[in-house]
Structure 1
Amino acid sequence: MAEKIPAKTNTQKLRDITDSLPEFTQQYFYSGTSGKAILTRISYALDARYFLEYAVNFLPYFPHKQIKELSLDDIRQIKATDIDKFLTWMEEDQKLSERTRARRRSSVSGLFEYLINTERKLEYNPVSGSQSVDIPENEYVTYLNLDEQEQLLNCIRYGTGLTKRQLSFHEKYKKRDLAIIFLFLDTGLRISELHALNVNDVVIYEDTFDEEKNECYITALRKGKKKSGTVSKVFFSDESKEYIQDYLASRQGQGEQFNENTPLFTTSTGERLSIREIQQMLKKYVQVSLKRSDISVHKLRSSFAMEFYKHEKNILVLQQRMGHMSINATNIYARASDREEAVKNSRNWRQKK
């Protein structure tokens, strides 16, 4: 039997990509983006390679060079009009979306800015003088309303709609799965944030004499604060508390002992549940309960945001709950919710004359 080759880690994947790039660019993807998630850095590196592949194939300045052979003097020759041509090529020849074009433009600009401001190796960023890419605002947000959320949760609670084969595993995992999905819907956590949680990150204060002193939250390293390493309190409801406590009690009932590095959500063998396993678990329940294929973990985050804003109408609190650094990101949900409500209220517009 052939020996199984272990899958590459994300760090190895990033190294493989940066090794194909000019040496003067490589430090950017490590120290220059140290506060970014590894998958974000991989995306930046892929975008930079994509642009440099375009440059060596279509720009007239270095016709006989490979990407790896490019020098700083080569890069200095690139003008704003060359970036414009690159954007046009992505749109007309490659048929790429506005979001993809804008992201690649931003990635290339970030590399130039690093070489200018941090390493002092370049004097000019050609991206800054190029045309921008306008991204159309999404008119609606895809999400689950409270009734749809309840359908999904009931599928997890009772196995409604699951096949016999799925039901044979359901009893073993339903407490874990219910705790995970409800926590997403209750807090708006990102999948990377939930995946990284340990048992010790769950904080529950209960005061039988003064309910106002009761607190339930998790300490999470949120996306916007990874560079500083500052953890945030992400509050969850009493219902979430019950699901989490029930799940953890079931693990302790099987003899498991927790320490500071014990993952909060695990497989049957005690390993940390992977991001892909969480995604596949949600996909199964959504298909069975709602017959939908457009609901990802990120859409559960959107579901939290939309329903929270409908109930609270407080965009600043929602911004904090979502872990958004900019209020502009939160505004998407407020505008979508207000628009949806206005459209519904306009149903009997003739009677309002």
Structure 2
Amino acid sequence: MHKNLKIHNKSDKPDNIVLKENSIIENCINVEKQLPKYMKDFFVYLKSAVVSSTRLAYLEDILFFCKYLVNESDLTTSTSCTDISIDEFNNIKARDINLFLGDYCSRYYKKTNKNTQVFENNNRSLARKKSSLSSLFKFLYRNEQINQNITDGFNPIKLPKPQPDAIKRLEIDEVAKMIDAVESGQGLTEKEKIYWKKTKLRDKAILILFITYGLRLSELRELNISSFNFTRGEFKIYRKRGKEALMPLNKTCESVVLDYIKSERTNSDYLEVQYKDALFLSLQNKRMTLKAIRELVIKYTSIAMGIPRGSGYSPHKLRATSATSLIQYGFSIYDVQNLLDHDNVTTTQLYAAHKKNVKREIVKNFEWLEDKKE
């Protein structure tokens, strides 16, 4: 990948979004160079079949499989992935894939100069690798490059059904404690308070946006000042699969964002060109990293729940908090699905299951007849 990738942006998307997309594409190209040339038709197919992030995930899974063929199996005589022949691919059987997924991938080792690391994949990760390989082998068969479609012989991988009770999220009172912590600094260590004094308005805006809109981590990180139209009371976000969405601004969110911009954020005149429009800045006056935002959320959620720092919740748990809170306040699952951009309403229904507990509490505390004891 080119370290200093520059783009000539002719779209109406902000530069940071276009740069992010092109960075993923550069990574895809880099992985493709490490794979056999006869897969080029498959690479072209992926460009139009899936979004760039999925394309990269598929390519990385296929490269991982090819490295397995070279280093761990007797299915090829090649010493590099680029040299694996189409004839060798044609001789691969479903059983070979099943052994790769079920035996090797579930637990494998990587040796470094100092030690040996053990890696494990859960069923969800194995299912994605299976999907990547299925896509490749089906394409090679349709493209008449191999003689058989072996994917029907791939073993099924059972995924656990998500349980509503297992969904981790903050309770309403814990949300209040979290906001109080970012406003007052209560619960922070003396060292943390040094940085908090410089970033409390930024941190508050980040947390409020997370719990109000259920934004994904990447959606929040890529926000710009120009994303917000305060006159119209809305802001634009860029979601998965390149979708754009306009989100309405309520008074709370407008207030915390404006407060941060006017009172704490470094004036854009003093920033490097690529960061002039970035909304959330680090103390180094650069766009905040995903890691920094994640650590910020973990810190404040741990204070809210009264647990050790490392046990706090990730931004995705604030997304779950937003979903369950909205449903508890009476919004329909379809409204919440639309706000949070769930592909399937069944995902939203998992959060709706928590509403049953609310109903139980209401009925329990709303008795018409007194309990008569003889």
Bin of the TM-score, shorter chain as denominator length: 0.7 to 0.9
Q: Any idea what the Cα deviations from partners look like across 1:125-158, whole Å, max 9, x if unmatched? A: 4234322211011322111121111111111111
Match of 1:81 in 2: 95
Inter-CA distance 164–67: structure 2 relative to 1 (3 Å threshold): same
Q: What is the deviation of 1:198?
A: 1.1
Provide the residue aligned with 2:219 in structure 1. Answer: 193
Q: Distance in 2 between matches of 1:330 and 1:123?
A: 43
Cα distance in 2 for partners of 1:328, 1:100 equals: 21
Paired amino acid for 1:80: A
When residues 190 and 251 of structure 1 are mapped into structure 2, their CA distance, relative to the original with a 3 A threshold, is: same
2:121 alignment partner, one of 73, 88, 96: 96
The counterpart of 1:267, out of the listed 282, 289, 308, is 282
User: Which consecutive unaligned segments of at least 5 residues does structure 2 have?
Assistant: 6-22, 109-119
When the two chains are superposed, the root-mean-square deviation of aligned CA atoms in Å is 3.6
Residue 151 (1) aligns with residue 180 (2): no
**Partners of 1:12 and 1:142 in 2: how far apart?**
35
- Give the SS at the match of 2:233: strand
Shift of 1:47: 1.6
Q: Which residue pairs with 2:296 in the alignment?
A: 281
What is the TM-score with the length of structure 2 in the denominator?
0.74
Aligned with residue 49 of structure 1, among 63, 83, 87: 63
What percentage of aligned pairs have identical amino acids? 25
- 1:199 deviates by 0.9
Provide the residue aligned with 1:36 in structure 2: 51
- State the alpha-carbon separation in 1 of the partners of residues 341 and 189 from structure 2: 38
Q: Does residue 20 of the first structure (1) align with residue 37 of the second (2)?
A: no
For residues 64 and 276 of structure 2, what CA distance do their matches in structure 1 show? 39
Cα distance in structure 2, aligned partners of 1:221 and 1:123: 42
Q: CA separation of 1:57/1:231 partners in 2, compared to 1, >3 Å: closer, same or farther?
A: same
Distance 1:314 1:270, change over 3 A: same
Shift in Å, 1:121: 4.1
The residue identity in structure 1 corresponding to 2:238 is L
The alpha-carbon deviation at position 180 of structure 1 amounts to 0.7
For structure 1, the residue ranges without an aligned partner over 5 or more in a row are 1-5, 206-214
Separation in 2 of the partners of 1:341 and 1:157?
A: 29
Confirm or deny that 1:112 pairs with 2:129: no
Match of 2:12 in 1: none
Change (3 A) 1:294 1:41: farther
For 2:112, the equivalent position in structure 1 comes to none
Matched residue of 1:324: which SS? Answer: coil
Which residue of 1 is the match for residue 82 of structure 2?
68
Equivalent AA in structure 1 for residue 286 of structure 2 = E
Q: How far apart are the structure 1 equivalents of 2:105 and 2:155?
A: 13
Deviates more, 1:171-180 or 1:44-53: 44-53
Give the whole-Å Cα distance in 1 for the aligned partners of 2:102 and 2:362. 43
**C-alpha distance in 2 between matches for 1:46 and 1:317:** 36
- Name which structure has the greater RCO, CA cutoff 8 Å, separation 6+: 1
Structure 1 residue corresponding to 2:244, chosen from 217, 228, 231: 231
Aligned partners of 2:226, 2:355: CA distance in 1, in Å? 38
Change (3 A) 1:7 1:332: farther
Count matched residues: 328
